[in-house]
Amino acid sequence: MGVSMLQKIRWYYNQRDLLMNYVRKDLKERYVGSIFGFYWSVINPLILLAIYTFVFSVIFQVKFGQDSGLGQSALYIFCGMIPWMTFHEAVGRSTGILLDNANLIKKVMFPSKILPMYIVVSHFVNLLIGFGILVVFALLSGRAVNVYYLLLPVYIGAQFLFTLGFSWLASAVNVFIRDMAQVIAQFLIIWMYLSPIFYSVEAIPEEIRAYAYLNPMTHLIEGYRDIFLNETMPSLAGMAIYGAAGVVVLVAGYLFFTRNQHAYADVL
């Protein structure tokens, strides 16, 4: 078991140059021909933040805390929106990545697991950019960089495992069931509104509030909000639950992807 794990780690380490080349290519191609180029990684989340803040804070008047103003609502929405966008876009794009690269999959020696992985890494670059924007606005609102920022690598690492596992699973299933791309797209929309992105957990009726914590994204979003906005220690239980969910999803996605890998070339 130990030798097998070391071999897997060594395999991924040996593929690092190929992975990073794909990541760099993806980041360049995403904004090729545009005037602002890579700056859209900053502009896009700001535009979405403005839209969602107007809709949920001005029109629907969703409150985050007793003294919640427009600025605080914007920060709370942004803090939930950044990690969700990363997860949503990475899984959504990964779903069809094997079909889009069928010519590469049919090459026996090509490491197909790299394809969903580079999509996830590419979108985690945007996650870090979004968090940079969030920190600036949090500091401008009077909050300070606190010791709990040291926990960010734990949450980001757990989110990476969770996202990569789902991406491997979605891309593999879509090879055999072509409708899966549409199913996952609709599922992600439902999941988004079931996650406390545009509202706080406290806004959920008390009799059903406990069910919100069955959603792994609840623990992730609340953890980020505790670190960036509440300046408090995140829930250790929530951290453990999301970390465990990340490991379980990663292992499930990896096993399903690798055990069906031999059939991809034939089906594609």
In a domain, 127, yes or no: yes
In a domain, 246, yes or no: yes
In a domain, 67, yes or no: no
CA distances from 5 to 19, 20, 113, 116, 177 (A): 20, 22, 16, 20, 30
Q: Per-residue pLDDT for the chain (268 aa), expressed as one digit of tens each?
A: 455 667 777 777 778 888 899 998 988 887 665 655 566 777 777 787 788 778 776 777 766 765 566 777 888 888 999 999 999 999 999 999 999 998 888 776 788 999 999 999 999 998 998 899 889 888 988 898 999 999 999 999 999 999 999 999 999 999 999 888 899 999 999 999 999 998 889 888 889 999 999 999 999 999 999 999 999 999 999 999 999 999 999 999 999 999 998 888 778 7
In a domain, 195, yes or no: yes
Q: Are 85 and 48 in contact (CB under 8 A)?
A: yes
In a domain, 256, yes or no: yes
Please give the pLDDT value at position 36. 58
**Residue-number span of the structural domain to which 177 is assigned:** 77-267
pTM, two decimals, is 0.89
Which of 159, 187, 171, 168 shows the shortest CA–CA distance to 247? 159
Q: How many domains does the chain have?
A: 1
In a domain, 34, yes or no: no
In a domain, 156, yes or no: yes
In a domain, 5, yes or no: no
